[in-house]
């Protein structure tokens, strides 16, 4: 939690302002009830208007100021919350982005989604529920105790003790009672997200193998457990409110026990008994949020641990301390490289060397499992080699800034990923400032112009999640169009014709080999088809 607070320190000015406004709101409420009690009790004795004029003015002042301060407090508190949420989301994305894809390969997409969305959103309540309420309650307790102490120190200690019981002891008890429930709630929420994402993404396979009902039952079981945990937290919240009301009633009883004898002796004006009673009730508004806030501590803590568990993972491709500029030449040299995914695993590539001049047409072939896709990922530095070096223009890839390499090398993966967006938006991932004319030109180059003309909204047509409305050949052609728009000096194709029919396969290969002659083209495939145009063929395995 200390690390989380360190992330939020940039907003301390806003947080301080929100705390001051919260305190002003509570004190205005205390002042309103106490002044109103004095006015009503005094007016019952039918005094002259001059004797209650100050009280009338006070009621007006506190009534108006309370509304104003409450509005400003809500306004500033929401501003703080949204600022913190924005900062947390940006920080988490910056922490996760260097981990992709190597370090996130073993993370389930549903679980990562739960961390990015639900867990981060849980942390937005850190200020509103865990930081501001205790600060406001403490300041309110001290000021109210000081005020009551001006008449009788015992009244001050009684009020402070009741506020301590309702604002410290009761929240700690609620925190202990809700710790495990809140932690389990976060875990179940993540499991529910995983099951939901897996069920949607694998729905076709579930239907084919008749496992849709089993997946539905799994979702139902997780949802029932999540609902049960929510009900338990709600029950604890109700119990906390009841116990807080009991502390409030105890404070009133203690007040009467201490003040009533003084009224009887004439040491205290009877009107002040009504003032003190409503003042005590008003003071408890400051500690009312604390039991629920601390009850959710387990949930907040578990969410924090889950977020930092991902953010603390070391990237597989660390940035160099002194990054070198991109070289002017783009020849590639694989110098006696070896690679293994983990120290305890066997080498996927062992003592492999290769020279690729700029503008070459290279085909790397071999059976499945020979390390072809691994080699593609090493070329774009998704992983770093275990031994040896890969050099671009004579410069080791490990000495380049990781974000600079995509300006030189583009990889078209075996399974092109298309966003749940329009055709135009998917193409502009490769070139954000491209005009429609340029996009249509790229589509025409990959023989998709007729397909685009048949679409109801042309470039604005929605492609569906992962481009499921397209065929396999259309998705690969679209990925090729993205590579054309990207226009990097080096393009790596990983299994560009997998799962395609022979006619489409040859068309795709012809399009690949016909790229600009100045660009280096590396095709990694296990199918030796249309490789006659390659200037160099390398066999693995």
Evaluate whether the domain defined by 2-311 bears CATH number 1.20.1560.10: yes
Give the separation between CA 511 and CA 515, rounded to whole angstroms: 7
pLDDT for position 247: 84
CA atoms within 13 A on the CB side of 91: 18
Element (H, E) at 391: strand 387-392
Q: Which fold has domain 332-539?
A: Rossmann fold (3.40.50)
- Structure-derived torsion over alpha carbons of residues 378, 383, 388, 392, reported in degrees to the nearest 10: 50
Residue ranges covered by each domain of the chain: 2-311, 332-539
pLDDT for position 5: 66
CA atoms within 13 A on the CB side of 109: 8
User: pTM value?
Assistant: 0.70
pLDDT for position 2: 67
Angle at 108 between CA 401 and CA 340, to 5 degrees: 50
pLDDT for position 296: 65
Kindly give the confidence (pLDDT) of every residue in the chain, 541 residues in length, as a single tens digit, with 9 standing for 90 and above.
566 666 677 777 888 888 888 888 888 888 888 888 888 887 777 777 777 778 788 888 888 988 999 899 888 888 888 888 888 888 888 887 777 777 776 677 677 777 777 777 777 666 666 777 888 888 888 888 888 877 778 888 888 888 888 878 888 887 777 778 877 887 888 888 878 877 877 777 788 878 888 888 888 888 888 888 888 888 887 888 888 888 888 888 888 788 778 777 777 777 877 888 888 888 888 887 777 767 666 667 777 777 777 777 777 777 788 888 888 888 888 888 888 887 777 788 888 888 888 888 888 888 877 788 888 888 888 888 888 888 888 888 888 877 788 888 888 887 777 877 888 888 888 888 888 888 888 888 877 888 888 878 888 888 777 766 777 777 888 888 888 888 888 888 888 777 677 777 787 788 888 887 888 888 888 777 767 778 888 888 6
Tell me the per-residue pLDDT of 226-239, one tens digit each, with 9 for 90 and over: 888 888 888 887 88
pLDDT for position 346: 79
Ramachandran angles phi, psi of 369, nearest 5°: 90, 5
Taking the mean position of all CA atoms in its chain, how far away is CA 69? 32
Decide if 466 contacts 386 (C-beta within 8 A): no
Does residue 101 have a cis peptide bond before it, meaning omega lies within 30 degrees of 0? yes
Tell me the per-residue pLDDT of 95-143, one tens digit each, with 9 for 90 and over: 877 777 777 766 776 777 777 777 777 776 666 667 778 888 888 888 8
DSSP type of residue 359: T
Element (H, E) at 524: strand 520-525
């Amino acid at each position: 939690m200390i690390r989380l607070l360190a992330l939020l320190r940039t907003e301390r000015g806003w947080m301080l302002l929100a705390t001051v406004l919260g305190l002003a709101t509570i004190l205005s409420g205390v002042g309103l009830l106490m002044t109103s009690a004095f006015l009503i009790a005094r007016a019952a004795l039918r005094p002259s208007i001059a004797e209650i004029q100050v009280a009338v003015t006070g009621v007006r002042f506190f009534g108006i100021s309370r509304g104003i301060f409450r509005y400003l407090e809500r306004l500033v508190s929401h501003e703080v919350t949204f600022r913190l949420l924005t900062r947390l989301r940006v920080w988490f994305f910056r922490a996760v982005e260097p981990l992709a894809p190597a370090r996130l390969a073993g993370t389930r997409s549903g679980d990562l989604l739960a961390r990015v969305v639900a867990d981060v959103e849980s942390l937005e309540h850190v200020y509103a529920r865990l930081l501001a309420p205790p600060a406001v309650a403490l300041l309110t307790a001290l000021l109210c105790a000081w005020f009551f102490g001006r008449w009788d120190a015992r009244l001050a200690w009684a009020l402070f003790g009741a506020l301590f019981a309702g604002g410290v002891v009761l929240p700690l008890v609620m925190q202990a009672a809700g710790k495990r429930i809140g932690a389990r709630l976060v875990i179940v929420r993540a499991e529910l997200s995983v099951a939901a994402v897996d069920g949607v993404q694998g729905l076709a396979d579930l239907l084919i193998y008749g496992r849709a009902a089993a997946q539905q039952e799994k979702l139902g079981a997780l949802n029932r457990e999540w609902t049960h945990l929510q009900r338990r937290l709600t029950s604890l919240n109700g119990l906390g409110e009841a116990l807080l009301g009991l502390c409030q009633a105890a404070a009133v009883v203690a007040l009467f026990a201490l003040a009533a004898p003084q009224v009887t002796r004439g040491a205290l004006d009877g009107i002040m008994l009504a003032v003190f009673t409503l003042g005590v009730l008003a003071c408890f508004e400051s500690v009312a949020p604390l039991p629920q806030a601390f009850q959710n501590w387990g949930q907040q803590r578990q969410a924090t641990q889950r977020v930092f568990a991902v953010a603390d993972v070391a990237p597989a491709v660390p940035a160099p301390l002194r990054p070198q500029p991109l070289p002017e030449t783009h020849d590639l040299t694989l110098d006696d490289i070896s690679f293994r995914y983990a120290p305890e695993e066997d080498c996927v590539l062992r003592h492999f060397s290769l020279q690729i001049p700029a503008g070459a047409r290279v085909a790397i072939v071999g059976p499945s499992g020979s390390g072809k896709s691994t080699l593609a990922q090493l070329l774009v530095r998704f992983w770093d080699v275990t031994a040896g070096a890969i050099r671009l223009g004579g410069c080791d890839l490990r000495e380049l800034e990781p974000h600079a390499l995509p300006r030189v090398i583009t990889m078209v993966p075996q399974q092109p990923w298309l966003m749940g967006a329009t055709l135009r938006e998917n193409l502009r991932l490769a070139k954000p400032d491209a005009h429609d004319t340029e996009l249509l030109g790229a589509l025409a180059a990959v023989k998709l112009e007729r397909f685009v003309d048949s679409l109801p909204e042309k470039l604005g047509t929605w492609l569906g999640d992962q481009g499921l409305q397209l065929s396999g050949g259309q998705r690969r052609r679209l990925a090729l169009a993205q590579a054309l728009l990207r226009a990097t000096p080096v393009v790596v194709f990983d299994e560009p014709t997998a799962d395609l029919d022979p006619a489409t396969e040859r068309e795709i290969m012809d399009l690949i080999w016909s790229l600009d002659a100045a660009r280096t083209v590396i095709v990694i495939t296990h199918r030796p088809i249309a490789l006659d145009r390659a200037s160099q063929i390398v066999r693995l395995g």
